[in-house]
Amino acid sequence: MLRRIAVVAMLLAICWSTGCSHQVPQSIFLKADDLQGVIFGKVAPVRDAQEGWIEFKTKGGRALKAGLDADGYFVVKAPRGTLSIVRFAYQLNSRLNTITLDQPYSFEVKPSRLLYVGMVFVSPLSQAVYLTDDFLRDRAWFANRFGEKLKLESFFPNQKFYDLMAQYSQAEPPVVRVENGRAYIPGVRFLMGDIWPGDFRIGPGGADHSMIPPHEAIISSFWMDREPVSRAAFGLQGSAPIEGVSWNEADRFCREKGGRLPTEAEWELAARGPQWGNLNYTGMLNGQPKPGVDLERADLPANPAEWPDGPYGVRFRAVQLAEWTGDWFNEVTYRTSPLTDPAGPDFGGEKVVRVGPYRYSLPPDSRPIGVGFRCVYGGAAHRAAVAPPPAPAAVPPEAADQPEPRRDTAERSVLVALTDLVVYAAPSRDAAVIARIEKGTLLTSVGESGDFYLVRLDNGEEGFVRRQQVGSRNGDDR
């Protein structure tokens, strides 16, 4: 008598040629000596699809098709050995979307085993396809549907991250405090980065490593505008958020208000909160939509006052409105960030833009439609708290605390940029950026202040550069 691992009613029906319509099985049945295994995963973002299927190929070239449910999940019984995902399709709003992977994603099906193979993710911004590991949330869906007695294994070797994510899923929800249009975000330790994108060496796509890995961050308290800066703030009609504003313009606007643009870490904390779990970002739910409102749809009200509140009371427009952050973009930032108050690289060519969990970059002088911004006040970048309005700080406190730079009265010295760098309006990394200098450029030093040199540019303007980024003309560090 064969011992049964799980006794349930039916096996998954495998669709062959025409795809399937929501044919995820109601239950799973395996024998202890079964030569087949069950694989489980998800195609995302797929929600409210009328039909969907995913196609696999065995090592011998045999094709298998399995149905997707309305949220993109698939569960299929397959022969042991190498199996590859080659394409998938789903019908949404009467439109059939079929995507073929340039590089098939392969894994080993184990006899009598239940294997999670990840989430095949389609970016709504770039339509790039890549593999992600969302095991904890997907495992919760699986357990809710099939029971917790079935042992589900993950294809990915990320147990330490699973443990960390489980720890932060128990974080206490914050207390909302909003004053004069600004929300208070207290200092907290949280897990930045929402998903682990699996093994890019074997996953489809894999060009973007910038969102890995999830990592802990300690953020100092700060205030954030509850809503994005509006058109009215720029003298235009309407309460909708301003779009088509460059990073330089947004940065100047915030500094004139006594604030600054948020760091990427601050933005993510405000949008997602300290608790890791099903509610990833304000307006984005994993699984079923919030009753009565689908926040990823285009009919979300234009007036931010009607948008949903996030964990701290900050309002976001799900994946529909991207926002500038203060950080320079770098693909290895998540792997090299400091634990406390990460603020991105010291310099770069493009600025980080965030929209929900998605991260990309744009030149600071670009004016893209669909990108807005909001300001923050206080926090580690200011070294001092900025009170809620109507009395914000007039200038960045760190810059205000700096003494008047000492000017050289002797012969001017010539410096050389040791790397690409930026020139600040004041001796502070929080000051406005007034110029960018390429590596090897010669600069005339006319003074110094703390960790900065005061330099004169070719156009006659003066600004501050960091000491460690320049050297003397003969190559010796100053």
Q: Residues 192-223: pLDDT tens digits?
A: 876 554 433 333 334 456 776 778 899 999 99
Q: Please identify, in words, the CATH class of the domain defined by 402-472.
A: mainly beta
Q: Please provide the DSSP assignment of 406-464 as one string.
A: EEP-SSPEEEEESS-EEEESSSSTTSPEEEEE-TT-EEEEEEEETTEEEEE-TTS-EEE
Q: In the prediction, which pLDDT does 334 show?
A: 83
Q: Which of 122-131, 200-209, 231-240, 252-261: highest mean pLDDT?
A: 252-261
Residue 181: name the closest of 394, 381, 376 by CA: 376
* pLDDT higher than 70, residue 182: yes
What 3-state DSSP class applies to 171?
coil
Regarding predicted confidence, which is higher, 49 or 42?
42
Any idea how long the chain is? 478
User: CATH 2.60.40.10 in the chain, residues?
Assistant: 4-156
* pLDDT higher than 70, residue 294: no
Q: In the prediction, which pLDDT does 199 show?
A: 38
Q: In the prediction, which pLDDT does 407 show?
A: 55
* pLDDT higher than 70, residue 399: no
Say which amino acid occupies 292.
G
Contact 312, 348 (CB under 8 A): no
What mean pLDDT is reported for the chain?
Answer: 77
Average pLDDT over residues 454-460: 80
pLDDT digit string, tens, across residues 300-343:
577 888 887 889 999 987 667 899 999 999 888 888 889 999 99
Q: In the prediction, which pLDDT does 75 show?
A: 92
> Domain 4-156 falls in which CATH fold?
Immunoglobulin-like (2.60.40)
The number of C-alpha atoms within 13 Å of 259 and in the hemisphere containing its C-beta is 27
What is the dihedral sign for C-alpha 372, 278, 211, 205?
negative
The rounded distance, in Å, linking the Cα atoms of 56 and 74 is 12
Contact 268, 353 (CB under 8 A): no
Regarding predicted confidence, which is higher, 210 or 166?
166
Cα 186 from chain centroid? Answer: 21
Contact 300, 307 (CB under 8 A): yes
User: CATH 2.30.30.40 in the chain, residues?
Assistant: 402-472
Which H or E run contains 105? Answer: strand 95-109
Q: CB under 8 Å to 262, separation ≥6 — which residues?
A: 222, 224, 270, 325, 326, 374, 375, 376
pLDDT confidence tier of residue 191, bands split at 50, 70 and 90: confident
pLDDT digit string, tens, across residues 344-383:
998 899 999 998 777 889 999 999 999 999 999 998 754 3
The rounded distance, in Å, linking the Cα atoms of 384 and 201 is 44
CA distances, 148 to each of 15, 140, 142, 384 (Å): 27, 9, 8, 49
The rounded distance, in Å, linking the Cα atoms of 122 and 126 is 8
> Domain 171-378 falls in which CATH fold?
paralog of FGE (formylglycine-generating enzyme) (3.90.1580)
* pLDDT higher than 70, residue 435: yes
